[in-house]
Amino acid sequence: MKPFSYERVASPGEAVEAAAARPGARFIAGGTNLLDLMKLGIEAPQHLIDVNRLGLDTIEPTAEGGLRIGALVRNADLAADRRVRRDYAVLARALVSGASGQLRNKATTAGNLMQRTRCPYFYNTDMPCNKRRPGSGCAAIGGLTHNLAVLGVSDACIATHPSDMCVALRALDATVETVGAGGRARSIPIAAFHRLPGDRPDIETALEPGELITAVTLPAPLGGVQLYRKVRERASYAFANLTVALVAEEGQIVRLAFGGLAAKPWRVEVAEGGDDADLAADLALAGATPTEDNAYKLPLARRTLKATLAQATEVRS
Amino acid sequence: MTATPRLPVTLSVNGETRTLTLDPRVTLLDALREHLLLTGTKKGCDQGQCGACTVLVNGRRINSCLSLAVMHEGDEISTIEGLGTPEALHPMQAAFIEHDGFQCGYCTPGQILSSLSVIEEIRAGVPSHVTGDLEAPIPLSDAEIRERMSGNLCRCAAYPNIMAAIRDYLGEGA
Ligand SMILES: Cc1cc2nc3c(=O)[nH]c(=O)nc-3n(C[C@H](O)[C@H](O)[C@H](O)COP(=O)(O)OP(=O)(O)OC[C@H]3O[C@@H](n4cnc5c(N)ncnc54)[C@H](O)[C@@H]3O)c2cc1C
Ligand code: SF4
Ligand code: FES
Ligand code: FES
């Protein structure tokens, strides 16, 4: 790892001030993504600001009947929370489908939102990558693309967003709460939090430099049957090829989002309210730009959605 | 490249207070192995992918390779050395030996610490990918145990014997 200095802060205000004082600084939470990338030389912050002791590790009810999840709540604790298991099952199931028990004990809500792509060329520092080195080109285009995106891609980047948690948050219409320079607070709808690559795939979220995520809020529970189905190359401990986050009520799609398919968690609002999985798949996949290697994701998305909707209907009856 | 200032950190390791002065780049894994010479915790991938470096921090299992030692000020760290000794094995260690739950043994410290955590996590109601009813008590089933052990890879594929050891430890062995 490149040398860096390290500081521990005790409040969100201190964290934001520390970041403003040190351009090139980064927050570190669980460290499970950032340290991995630092070891590989893909990230090289000069200064780390440890945000683990900010007191942002509780889950509280909101006045609107929802939940406010502190940025530092660990993925394992969020999945185990009784209210999340009961009222936001799609989120609990998405969380436990990701990573391993050890990693979920460490990974935080904010870190999971900010985790970077698993594109193999992003990880290969010998090859061009517009995310890693803006303007260097994209080795994935024309390369081995079997687990790259088919929706929301650009000429500059065809990577997927790897998070499971974020797909459920997108289906549930979560909001990301932040505090920025000078203590300015913002609420960013999850739909606007992750960006499409366009011509700047290195800019991945709506966060400004030095802006700190303080919480994620969930609206009041939706009810219905909530399922998360993940298709991957091993039975466990592997990133997704494709996932479906579904909230259904009596065979009808209430919320639908896909993971592994697109440059960001991919909600399909036009399919919500319908009860025909084929039609929903047509709507979801219109405009897809598969390669020969990843064209399998189209029928896989359709069949996985069908199976998930059928399962939701069965659970109901 | 300018060197960064070394920082003091105090950890409790297997119940003993240890103070170190470390480059902030030192991972918890390297602090244990290289600075405290506790080599029971293994370095496999150094990237969070294999589980050989599993330790308990404040009672919870994590991958020590993806954590900086300086982030653990005041934390209680438990490693395989704190679990049992060759003369006084922990029952889970004894069960691994009884059932040949290893070949080369490289993944074994991580497997043993994880298997104890898995049992606690199931009892505490932490759901897993294979949990059916998210609100009911979780069974200590083979499927639950296997899924939760997936963060510990075994290059020698001792998996069936690891399962047998865990079942034996739970008092359901042959
Ligand atoms: C082997 C392996 C397998 C995995 N498998 C999966 C999987 O199947 N599914 C899945 O979804 N994920 C998976 N992951 C990824 C894992 O979920 C992420 O590494 C984790 O969620 C990151 O959280 P963290 O707290 O450790 O983040 P860190 O590594 O601490 O930080 C990640 C990023 O978030 C930023 N950050 C952290 N906190 C804040 C904050 N409060 N405000 C602003 N920015 C912040 C950091 O600056 C950094 O850029 C896997 C990881 C590994 C190593
Ligand atoms: S797809 Fe994106 S992440 Fe992958 S090499 Fe191209 S620019 Fe980099
Ligand atoms: S050495 Fe830490 S997970 Fe492999
Ligand atoms: S016993 Fe050899 S790696 Fe598990």
The average pLDDT across A63-78 equals 98
The average pLDDT across B18-41 equals 98
Q: Indicate which of A7, A102, A228 best probes the interface with B, i.e. most B CBs within 10 Å of its own CB.
A: A102
Pinpoint the alpha helices (H) of chain A. Answer: 12-21, 34-39, 75-80, 82-87, 89-96, 101-106, 109-114, 120-123, 165-171, 190-193, 277-285, 297-316
CB A42 within 8 A of CB A125: yes
Kindly report whether the global pTM for this prediction surpasses the value 0.90: yes
Q: What proportion of chain A, given as a percentage, has pLDDT over 90?
A: 98
Amino acid B62: pLDDT: 98
B146 to chain A: nearest residue by CA? Answer: A236
User: Any idea of the CA torsion for A62, A63, A64, A66, to the nearest 10 degrees?
Assistant: 20
Q: How far apart are CA B57 and CA B65, in angstroms?
A: 13
CB A248 within 8 A of CB A254: yes
Q: How far apart are CA B65 and CA B55, in angstroms?
A: 10
Grade residue A175 by pLDDT with cuts at 50, 70 and 90: very high
**Which range among A295-299, B150-154, B169-173 shows the weakest confidence by mean pLDDT?**
B169-173
pLDDT reading at A36 higher than 50: yes
pLDDT digit string (tens) for B58-96? 999 999 999 999 999 999 999 999 999 999 999 999 999
- Which ligand lies nearest to the CA atom of residue A155 in the structure? 2
Grade residue B3 by pLDDT with cuts at 50, 70 and 90: low
pLDDT digit string (tens) for B135-154? 999 999 999 999 999 999 99
Q: What is the ipTM of this complex?
A: 0.97
Beta-carbon separation of A35 and B66 below 8 A: yes
- Taking CB atoms and an 8 Å cutoff, what residues of chain A touch B44? none
Read off φ and ψ for residue A152, nearest 5 degrees.
Answer: 75, 15
pLDDT reading at A131 higher than 50: yes
Nearest CA to ligand 3 atom 3: B48
Q: Residue A205: beta bridge partners?
A: A194
pLDDT reading at A178 higher than 80: yes
Architecture of domain B91-171: Orthogonal Bundle (1.10)
The average pLDDT across A72-78 equals 98
Query: Starting from the edge strand earliest in sequence, which strands make up the sheet with A175-179, in order?
Result: A59-61, A67-70, A212-218, A175-179, A185-189
- Which ligand lies nearest to the CA atom of residue B111 in the structure? 4
A239 to chain B: nearest residue by CA? Answer: B49
Grade residue B4 by pLDDT with cuts at 50, 70 and 90: confident
pLDDT digit string (tens) for A264-281? 999 999 999 999 999 999
**Is CATH 3.10.20.30 the right assignment for the domain spanning B7-82?**
yes
- Taking CB atoms and an 8 Å cutoff, what residues of chain B touch A50? 70-71
pLDDT reading at A289 higher than 70: yes
pLDDT reading at A2 higher than 50: yes
Beta-carbon separation of A106 and B68 below 8 A: no
Beta-carbon separation of B147 and A236 below 8 A: yes
Amino acid A249: pLDDT: 97
Read off φ and ψ for residue A307, nearest 5 degrees.
Answer: -65, -40
Amino acid A315: pLDDT: 76
Beta-carbon separation of B4 and A102 below 8 A: no
Q: How far apart are CA A14 and CA A108, in angstroms?
A: 19
Q: How far apart are CA B112 and CA B162, in angstroms?
A: 9
- Lining ligand 3 with CB less than 6 A are B 43-46, 48-53, 63, 65
Strands (DSSP E) along chain A, which ranges? 5-8, 25-28, 47-50, 59-61, 67-70, 175-179, 185-189, 212-218, 225-232, 240-249, 252-259, 266-267
Whether residue B48 has its Cβ less than 6 Å from ligand 4:
no
The average pLDDT across A71-93 equals 98
Whether residue B159 has its Cβ less than 6 Å from ligand 4:
no
At A148, list the tokens: 């790259």
Beta-carbon separation of A80 and B124 below 8 A: yes
pLDDT reading at B174 higher than 80: no
Amino acid B172: pLDDT: 63
A38 to chain B: nearest residue by CA? Answer: B25
At A175, list the tokens: 């909001």
Domain ranges of chain B: 7-82, 91-171
Amino acid B2: pLDDT: 56
DSSP code string of B64-115: GGGSBGGGGTT-EEE-GGGT--SSS--HHHHHHHHTT--SS-TTHHHHHHHH
At A41, list the tokens: 């030389």
pLDDT digit string (tens) for A102-125? 999 999 999 999 999 999 999 999
More confident: B172 or A247 = A247
Amino acid B135: pLDDT: 96
Grade residue B56 by pLDDT with cuts at 50, 70 and 90: very high
Amino acid A10: pLDDT: 97
- For residue B79, what are the CA distances in angstroms to A99, A312, B14, B87, B160? 22, 43, 7, 17, 24
Q: How far apart are CA B21 and CA B10, in angstroms?
A: 9
Q: What proportion of chain B, given as a percentage, has pLDDT over 90?
A: 95
How many CB pairs below 8 A link A and B?
115
Mean pLDDT for chain B? 96
Q: Residue B13: beta bridge partners?
A: B16, B77
